[in-house]
Structure 1
Amino acid sequence: MLIELSIKNFAIIENLTVPFEKGLTVLTGETGAGKSIIIDAISLLVGGRGSVEFVRHGANRAEIQGLFFIDNLSHDIYDKALQLGIEINDDQMVVLQRDITSQGKSICRVNGKLVTLGILRELGESLVDIHGQHEHQHLMQVERHLSLLDQFIVDKISDALNEYKNIYKTFTELKGRVKQFSENEQKIAHRLDLLQYQLKEIEKSNLTPDEDVHLTEERFKLSNGEKLYKTIHDSYHALYGDGKGLDWLMDAMNHVVEAATIDKQLIPLKETISNCYYLLEEATFSLRDYYEGIEFDPDRLNLIEGRLNEISQLKRKYGHDVTHILEYSSKIEEEIDNLLNREAKIEEIQNQLEHVSYDLYLEAKNLTQIRTTAAKDLGDKIQQHLKDLYMEKTKFYIEVSERAASEKDPAIDGKYVHFQEDGIDKVEFLLSTNPGEPLKPLAKIASGGEISRIMLALKSIFSSHHGVTSLIFDEVDTGVSGRVAQAIAEKIYKISTDSQVLCITHLPQVAAMATTHLYISKEQLENKTVTKVATLTKLEQVEEVARMLSGAETTKLTRENAKELLDQAEKIKGVYVKLTN
């Protein structure tokens, strides 16, 4: 669960620390006070998209920190952290940190270790699930229904989906090769002419492996021939000649030989010096042979320069060194062979594609079977939750069908099949809001209030399936009132008995169910707008709920109504406590 959130120089927030408790934490306040900004900060903390616009005017960077307590030792984050080399101590605390500079750069840390934004997002998504108003729109988009169903059965479908995706990758590669070989004759002829010209040019140069490296080394040696001759010549004469190095070493050796006849302990030293003398003498003769063999050959240098220039021309076209040029030559030689024999290649690839398509179809049907079973299960669960939310006459159904295919798609068992990365299935949520009416696409007939309740039902189900420690609702209660609002309030509270829930709301019914009620306000201090967060006492909570009920000036009657609503909420919460115990 999220224990504490620290925000600095973020939007209109200058410096704010918000502690959070277990259960249902409700955030209320006037419009524009900064409630959604706090949720935006949490979203960024768990890897959401950042922007320089979030940095408070005049500040260098926005800083957000969140302290999480993970009491479930089997939570996914422990394995993920271990894989990433991030240490989680025995206190079971995880600190996420995200800074956004005024230049728009993001700096991410987990328990003090710098990580990429992708890693922060991966870990953050296992801790927090944020449900904002935009998710209502996702529910209205049919193409997202399949992913929602797969989220419900992520543990059951992941292995089968990965197996399908591996084969699908081969399938798309083969399709690409067929397309490449099936292009129009004129384009293929042009390609063939180009490749044959390139291959001829490379073969004509008679390159040898690492030729450019060896020639460059030889050119350097020839260009510095005089310097090389002088240094080796001087080295030789420093060692050989009257009064030079070898003479002095021989003199030292003779003295030690004589001393060793007196003291046998000097024999090893005598042998060492003798060995050094003879080795150095041999090296000296090698130096003489080397400098006497040095030739100044301007013609050879010119020849090397010309050859390196020729290779340089090839490098500009075919690779940054001779090795890559030769690799490119082998590659285009293979492509030329394929193009010259493309009819046979197409037939070969088509045969491969046919076998792969059939394997892919079997894996796709396996996914369909898993999804069909899950669709019935999820549909029944949503139906039950909708009854709790006063949609008892509504029928909810998840339809799993095969995507439409065309003649461009592969034919399997006498029918065309349209493969995509996630399978061949189309998933659509269907709804009937009144008895006797047929099921129709949810996107076409559901009202805003119905969408809110369906999404809340999904979140209620997913909260028990996924390991997220904190669930955040940003005005999930849009478009409802009356007894429906009360039902939503109870549903959100019920979720909070298993997961920490943070909820921004304008409904007094939801606010009354809060375990902790935070009031967000803003005020002007020294020409600055400052956002403040206060934890309301019981009396203050009565005043706030009364304000939410009246919508304007609170009266004695609205206070009484607020108190009654809060008392009723306490009784309802007591029932849930008994049920959970």
Structure 2
Amino acid sequence: MLSELSIRNFAIIESLSVSFQKGLTVLTGETGAGKSIIIDAVHLLVGGRGSAEFVRHGEDKAEIEGLFFLDSETHPCYAKGKEFGIEVEDGMIVLRRDISKNGKSICRVNGKLVTIAILREIGSTLIDIHGQHEHQELMDETKHINLLDQFGAKDIYPALSEYQAVFKSYEHTLKKLKNLSENEQQIAHRLDLIQFQYEEIQSAELKLNEDEELTEEKRKLNNFEKIFESIQSGYTALKGDQRGLDWIGMVMDHLENAADINPEYKELHESVTNCFYILEDAARVLSSELDILEFDPQRLNDIEDRLTEINQLKRKYGQTISDILEYAARIEGEIETLQNKEVHIGQMEKELASFKKDLEIEALNLHKARAMWAKELTSLIHQELKELYMGKTVFEVKIENHGNQFMRNGGDKIEFYISTNPGEPLKPLSKIASGGELSRIMLALKSIFSKHQGVTSIIFDEVDTGVSGRVAQAIAEKIYKVAKNSQVLCISHLPQVAAMSDTHLYINKEIQDGRTRTSVAPLTDLEKIREIGRMISGVEITDLTRQHAEELLNMAQYMKTAK
């Protein structure tokens, strides 16, 4: 759920911090007070399209930040966070978006900078914003198949998983067959190219880690003079008259005499003696090194040439020798396939035919599962519409089977159709135009799908426009029903909806120091009566209006308790 929303320098809002609760939160206020501006801010927070026009006049940037709590470790936001390398700890996620006055956006998720595309993907798992005229998921016929699959996940998802496993193999084989069946000229060019590449790599006779070994040898050769001088100086310091070993030998003789007189010096004498012989061995090794050290300028040239050859191959075939050898192994297999093209085409056609038979079986199983759940969904939608006084409306989940046309989600095309008047033909849901009817249809669908979509919060922005009377009451009850499964934030002009709220926020606009400022505050029970009265009658609130408001609140409380 959305727990906290902070807005700074956004449109007419200078600074605003709002806390939200579970259940149904209704936002009301005078026209132009800034209700929709708050929803616009939330929309931008979850990846909506931004503009410099949102930045408050005279300010450098607008800032929007939201804190969300995830109610389950299986929430899809966890998977999205893992996909994009974002840590989600303690079930909390913070979204932030800054919009500068030049229109550029900076987006962060839990403090990590992200693109707007990533913000949008994560935001889509947290909030579903629905306005009367927006093209939401339920109005997009391409998404209907996903909604049905979510609804019947218990049976559909296992069947879909089986189908997609076979489809992946089928698609991979089909792609290989298509590539192999291209025109002869393209294949001949490809074969000539990879044969040349393979021969070039093979003729180089590369060895793993060869470049690293050569680079180390080159470093030593480039520093040969320094190495030789250092070893020679070290040997000279140890060996020769009045050099290191002579002096240590003298120390050893003196300590031997002392140890003969006093045994306490025997251990010290032995230590010096051991050091003498160790240094003597080191001097012999240094002497041997001086004998074998020889600078070979030709070897240095050979190394340079070999490294140049290896680097040229790296530029063409891979960043490391291992990558180059792996590439050679791949094209060796491709060469064999192209040289024996007809044999491989025959094998692939047999594989494809086998996969196709399997796909037909899995697609049929998937179709049966969808058809079964489509009936269940249709029945529930009719029940929901009946409760919204649309009992004569006909809803249908149309499933068209494409037979041998296999797609990633099966061979079905699914679209929701509806007829709102008796005698009228069924039409696609996306073609429904009446505002009042659309509001009720959307609420009926939301009532069902909100349980299956896993979205943390749902925002209804004036979806109750164009309705009144008993329909308005039915919509209020339906919105409250949706709020049982998801946090719902609702901007409404209907007193019936406001009465059903668990939290009622009042949005107020006032002029201070010549500037417009918007504020939001939760209403007390008494303030709630006054605001609902204003929504009923307008500016003047009479005793009768107040009684009507109290009656609405009492009815709402009774309905919530009864449900």
The two structures share one fold, judged by TM-score above 0.5:
yes
In structure 2, relative to structure 1, the CA distance for the partners of 1:196 and 1:469 (3 Å cut) is: closer
In structure 2, relative to structure 1, the CA distance for the partners of 1:511 and 1:577 (3 Å cut) is: closer
**Shift of residue 338 of structure 1?**
1.2
Judge conservation of contact 1:509–1:565 (CA < 8 Å) in 2.
Answer: no
Judge conservation of contact 2:47–2:120 (CA < 8 Å) in 1.
Answer: yes
1:408 aligned residue? none
Judge conservation of contact 1:260–1:270 (CA < 8 Å) in 2.
Answer: yes
**Shift of residue 241 of structure 1?**
2.3
Judge conservation of contact 1:542–1:562 (CA < 8 Å) in 2.
Answer: no
CA-to-aligned-CA distance 1:127-186 (integer Å, 9 cap, x gap): 644333465554343222112212323455444434433433332222211111111111
Query: Hey, what's the Cα distance between the residues in 2 that align with 1:534 and 1:231?
Result: 81
Aligned residue pairs total 554
1:455 aligned residue? 442
Judge conservation of contact 1:50–1:106 (CA < 8 Å) in 2.
Answer: no
1:566 aligned residue? 549
Query: Hey, what's the Cα distance between the residues in 2 that align with 1:254 and 1:354?
Result: 94
Q: SS of the residue aligned with 1:105?
A: strand
Query: Hey, what's the Cα distance between the residues in 1 that align with 2:190 and 2:124?
Result: 48
Query: Hey, what's the Cα distance between the residues in 2 that align with 1:256 and 1:527?
Result: 99
Q: What does residue range 170-569 of structure 1 map to in structure 2 within 5 Å?
A: 170-254=169-253, 273-402=272-401, 404=402, 417-444=404-431, 447-465=434-452, 470-496=457-483, 499-537=486-524, 540-541=527-528, 544-545=531-532, 547-549=534-536, 554-555=539-540, 559=542, 562-563=545-546, 565-569=548-552
Query: Hey, what's the Cα distance between the residues in 2 that align with 1:21 and 1:205?
Result: 69
Q: Could you tell me the percent identity over the aligned residues?
A: 50
Amino acid in structure 1 at the alignment position of 2:67: G
Q: What does residue range 156-171 of structure 1 map to in structure 2 within 5 Å?
A: 156-171=155-170
Amino acid in structure 2 at the alignment position of 1:520: I
**Shift of residue 315 of structure 1?**
3.1
Amino acid in structure 1 at the alignment position of 2:33: A
Q: SS of the residue aligned with 2:521?
A: strand
* TM-score (normalizing by structure 2): 0.85
Judge conservation of contact 2:509–2:517 (CA < 8 Å) in 1.
Answer: yes
Q: SS of the residue aligned with 2:105?
A: coil
Judge conservation of contact 2:47–2:123 (CA < 8 Å) in 1.
Answer: no
Judge conservation of contact 2:2–2:66 (CA < 8 Å) in 1.
Answer: no
**Shift of residue 65 of structure 1?**
3.3
Amino acid in structure 1 at the alignment position of 2:6: S
Query: Hey, what's the Cα distance between the residues in 2 that align with 1:291 and 1:168?
Result: 70
Amino acid in structure 1 at the alignment position of 2:509: K
Q: SS of the residue aligned with 1:522?
A: strand
Amino acid in structure 1 at the alignment position of 2:539: T
**Shift of residue 259 of structure 1?**
5.7
Query: Hey, what's the Cα distance between the residues in 2 that align with 1:443 and 1:193?
Result: 54
Unaligned runs of 5+ residues in structure 2 are none
Judge conservation of contact 2:75–2:454 (CA < 8 Å) in 1.
Answer: yes
Query: Hey, what's the Cα distance between the residues in 1 that align with 2:419 and 2:486?
Result: 31
Judge conservation of contact 1:452–1:478 (CA < 8 Å) in 2.
Answer: yes
Q: What does residue range 56-67 of structure 1 map to in structure 2 within 5 Å?
A: 56=56, 58-60=59-61, 62-66=63-67
CA-to-aligned-CA distance 1:427-486 (integer Å, 9 cap, x gap): 121223233445443334563322221210121123344655543212222343343223
2:140 aligned residue? 141
Query: Hey, what's the Cα distance between the residues in 2 that align with 1:432 and 1:162?
Result: 34
Query: Hey, what's the Cα distance between the residues in 2 that align with 1:310 and 1:319?
Result: 13
Q: SS of the residue aligned with 1:6?
A: strand
Query: Hey, what's the Cα distance between the residues in 2 that align with 1:465 and 1:138?
Result: 13
Judge conservation of contact 2:107–2:119 (CA < 8 Å) in 1.
Answer: no
**Shift of residue 120 of structure 1?**
7.5
Judge conservation of contact 1:520–1:531 (CA < 8 Å) in 2.
Answer: yes
1:13 aligned residue? 13
1:96 aligned residue? 94
Amino acid in structure 1 at the alignment position of 2:475: I
Unaligned runs of 5+ residues in structure 1 are 405-415
Judge conservation of contact 2:47–2:119 (CA < 8 Å) in 1.
Answer: no
1:411 aligned residue? none
Of 339-348 and 154-163, more deviation after overlay is shown by: 154-163
What root-mean-square deviation, in Å, do the aligned CA atoms of Structure 1 and Structure 2 show? 3.6
In structure 2, relative to structure 1, the CA distance for the partners of 1:104 and 1:438 (3 Å cut) is: closer
Amino acid in structure 2 at the alignment position of 1:475: E
In structure 2, relative to structure 1, the CA distance for the partners of 1:520 and 1:302 (3 Å cut) is: same
* TM-score (normalizing by structure 1): 0.83
Amino acid in structure 1 at the alignment position of 2:464: D
Judge conservation of contact 1:50–1:100 (CA < 8 Å) in 2.
Answer: no
Query: Hey, what's the Cα distance between the residues in 2 that align with 1:275 and 1:116?
Result: 65
